[in-house]
């Protein structure tokens, strides 16, 4: 079965520090991978996505993520965090259930990011 | 472009009562989704529409949840009767996606409706 694991529930970093949010997935085929961000009281906003090709993808707000097939990972990174980056971050994999032609997004449980001034 | 609109933003009801949520997707988006987001968890798909037809409701608790999308635009999600475990944020999303590759196109989410069942 498809699954997404975000091992860190809560991360705290200082403003200006670098950031890496971890994401591991379980899926038999080549996955479609996404990172979404959710600010308090808001819906989810797409940061970036990976479908194929270059394994390092660039997103909005200065974020990037690297797909590593050997590690089944799709970690999100930012070289210098801003206070406005404080939010909850969700990794998701787009996949088909076995025997189904329907695609569906499976979300991880999320990582809450706190930024210290 | 206008985003996905949802109402109400908050709702508090007692268990066994009924409740309904409304969603207006982005204009031109044929695919509409309802997600349930329980505190501390990621969103879970409840139901997916392509125009006004249901294409995936495998995770919808059909004994108490129902949804419709009349005329292929607005959608309503209803819970009757509500249980304590239904307390969650209900997110509506829309996309330009075709059904068979429904995850290929980005989802645009509304701000959600926070439901508290007491």
pLDDT digits (tens, 9 = 90+) for A46-91: 999 998 888 999 999 999 999 999 999 999 999 999 999 999 999 9
Q: Which domains can be identified in chain A, with CATH numbers? A: 3-116 (2.60.40.10)
Chain A nearest-CA distance from B100, in A, is 5
Name the residue among A42, A101, A108 with its Cβ closest to that of B42: A108
Q: Report in angstroms the alpha-carbon separations of B55 from A28, B13, B33, B65, B95.
A: 23, 30, 10, 16, 14
Contact assessment for residue A47 and residue A61, using Cβ atoms and an 8 Å cutoff = yes
Interchain CB distance below 8 Å, B42 and A110: yes
Residues of chain B positioned with their CB less than 8 A from the CB of A107 = 42-44
Which B residues in the span 58-87 are in contact with A, Cβ-Cβ below 8 Å? Answer: none
pLDDT of residue B24: 96
pLDDT of residue A102: 67
- Model confidence at A92, pLDDT cuts 50, 70, 90, reads very high
Interchain CB distance below 8 Å, A101 and B44: no
Architecture of domain B5-117: Sandwich (2.60)
Name the residue among B91, B101, B103 with its Cβ closest to that of A43: B91
pLDDT of residue B100: 56
Contact assessment for residue B87 and residue B118, using Cβ atoms and an 8 Å cutoff = no
> What mean pLDDT do residues A24-28 have?
86
Give me the residues of chain B with pLDDT under 50, please.
Answer: none
Q: How far apart are CA A68 and CA A65, in angstroms?
A: 10
Name the residue among B42, B55, B108 with its Cβ closest to that of A109: B42
């Amino acid at each position: 079965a498809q699954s997404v694991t975000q091992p860190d529930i809560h991360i705290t970093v200082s403003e200006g520090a670098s950031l890496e949010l971890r994401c591991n997935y379980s899926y038999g085929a080549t996955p479609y991978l996404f990172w979404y961000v959710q600010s308090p009281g808001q819906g989810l906003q797409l940061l970036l996505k990976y479908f194929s090709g270059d394994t390092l993808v660039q997103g909005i707000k200065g974020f990037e993520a690297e797909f590593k097939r050997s590690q089944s990972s799709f970690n999100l990174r930012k070289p210098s965090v801003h206070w406005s980056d404080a939010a909850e971050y969700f990794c998701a994999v787009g996949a088909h259930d076995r025997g189904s032609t329907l695609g569906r997004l499976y979300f991880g449980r999320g990582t809450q990011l706190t930024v210290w001034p | 472009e206008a985003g996905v609109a949802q109402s109400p933003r908050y709702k508090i009801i007692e268990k066994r009562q009924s409740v309904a949520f409304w969603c207006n997707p982005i204009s031109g988006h044929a695919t509409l989704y309802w997600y349930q987001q329980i505190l501390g968890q990621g969103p879970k798909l409840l139901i997916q529409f392509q125009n006004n037809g249901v294409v995936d409701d495998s995770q919808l608790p059909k004994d108490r949840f129902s949804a419709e999308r009349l005329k292929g635009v607005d959608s309503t999600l209803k819970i009757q009767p509500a249980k304590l475990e239904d307390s969650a944020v209900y997110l509506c999303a829309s996309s330009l996606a075709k059904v068979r590759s429904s995850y290929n196109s980005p989802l645009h989410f509304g701000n959600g409706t926070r439901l508290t069942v007491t």
